[in-house]
Amino acid sequence: MSGVPFVDFRARVAAWRGEIEEAVGRVLDSGRFILGPEGEAFERELASAFGAGDAVGVANGTEAIQLALAAAGVGAGDDVVTSPLTAAFTGLAILAAGARPVFADLDPVTLNVSPEAVARAITPRTRALLPVHLYGHPADLDPLLELARARGIPLVEDACQAHGARYKGRMVGALSGLGALSFYPTKNLGALGDGGAVLVNDPALAARLRRLRNGGQTDRYHHVEPGLNSRLDEMQAAILRVGLRHLEAANTRRRELAALYRRELAGADGIVLPAEQPYARSNHHLFVVRHSRRDQVMAALRERGIGMLIHYPVPLHLQGAFASLGGRRGDFPVAEKAAGEVFSLPLYPELSDAQALAVAAAVRELAARRT
Ligand SMILES: Cc1ncc(COP(=O)(O)O)c(C=O)c1O
């Protein structure tokens, strides 16, 4: 087998090509490209599929987080407690909302924020909690929701990686009443471009979000508050309607592949497999393993043409973009250790069993190699 790519967008488009062309054709025929019937239909279908009161389409996941925080009243002078091991965009969205990210260390097994560490990070300045359902495995929400409730502050779920994942049997994203999704093409529900949405249960907040994503306008050219230009366009909305129809089947295929990796990699030398907690049903957005000699194993896999990525090599408190927060090495030991050991194997619905078996065999062999 000549290599396995980390993602394969052409295979995804090929699988749904007829439906995508039909959706794009509908938009071309409609002559409506921004805030039209496709976006409205997608918002309804998304809210219904995710068990949310409402969904507001926006331009990307970063702005979904920013706008969710803004709609919840978070702004200048406020702290938001989040994970140091996530896409930097989580922290950048907090900064863009005018607030300050405060990090809490992780549960060493799930690599999601530990509720105990979040409790220790809360101060009188804390105005929101922003747990990330990292890799598509839900964070332990109940204790986090209890902390937020006790403090009277909102909890916004960063569900950008978690489309279709379940916490105690319920779909994540709107369990707290406010959550952000990204439709970046690699996501389980991915656009063919950028896109995002806020899931929201409160109708007043939904109305505010619709205003904020459109420059703060109530009526055309009447701006009652400063907002963003963060609209989901009709083309992406129409394409996402296709993806939404296939989401559960695609997640089922991801689950099969994850089971294959678990079976084939059980007992592999030095490989730590991801564990699904009893309260969680992962959507297997990423299949992330750990190895103490990660860089060496990855380099050898790349030589064989197997695509691997690291999610994420540098925790946020050690990134230049967050230097003003004054983070130092040693602040979040669990996150820092994980950042040195994690790597993600190719996992997407179009990956064949033969490809996954080839990846697993190579990982098994190269993880055991000492030189
Ligand atoms: C956990 C997480 N949060 C936020 C984002 C930002 O989403 P987007 O790239 O759509 O802005 C992403 C994706 O990159 C993500 O994975």
Q: What is the 3-state secondary structure (H, E, C) of 185-226?
A: CCCCCCCCCCCEEEEECCHHHHHHHHHHCECCEEECCEECCC
Does pLDDT of 270 surpass 90? yes
In this predicted structure, the answer to whether residue 268 has a pLDDT above a threshold of 80 is yes
61 alpha carbon – ligand 1 mean position (Å):
5
Measured at the CA of 234, the angle between CA 230 and CA 235, to 5 degrees, comes to 110
pLDDT at residue 103, as a whole number = 98
Inter-CA distances, 135 with 98, 190, 368, Å: 27, 15, 25
- Is there an atom of ligand 1 within 6 Å of 312 CB? no
CB of residue 196 inside a 6 A radius of ligand 1: yes
Q: What is the pairing mode between strands 178-182 and 157-158?
A: parallel
pLDDT tens per residue, range 38-95: 999 999 999 999 999 999 999 999 999 999 999 999 999 999 999 999 999 999 999 9
**Confidence check: pLDDT of 1 > 70:** no
Say if residue 353's pLDDT is above 90. Answer: yes
What mean pLDDT is reported for the chain?
Answer: 97
- Is pTM, for the whole model, over 0.95? yes
219: left (phi over 0), alpha (psi -120 to 50) or beta: beta
Torsional sign, CA 143, 145, 149, 151: positive
Q: Which of 86, 189, 76 is nearest to 130 (CA)?
A: 86
CA distance linking residue 91 with residue 130, whole number of Å: 10
Which token pair is 143?
A: 């204790």
Strands 178-182, 196-200: pairing kind? antiparallel
Helices (H), 152-293: 203-212, 234-265
Specify the pLDDT at position 326. Answer: 97
CA of 182 to the centre of ligand 1 (A): 6
Whole-number Å distance, alpha carbon 58 to ligand 1 midpoint, is 13
> Residue 31 Cα, ligand 1 centroid: separation in angstroms?
30
Task: Give the Å distance between the CA of 252 and the centre of ligand 1.
Answer: 22
The separation between CA 226 and the C-alpha centre of its own chain, rounded to angstroms, equals 27
Judge contact between 228 and 63, C-beta under 8 A.
Answer: yes
Q: What is the pLDDT of residue 370?
A: 82
Ligand 1 pocket check for 132: Cβ under 6 Å: yes
Distances (CA, A) of 369 to 270, 274, 296, 361: 10, 21, 9, 13
pLDDT tens column, 120-174: 999 999 999 999 999 999 999 999 999 999 999 999 999 999 999 999 999 999 9
Is the beta carbon of 157 within 6 A of some atom in ligand 1?
no
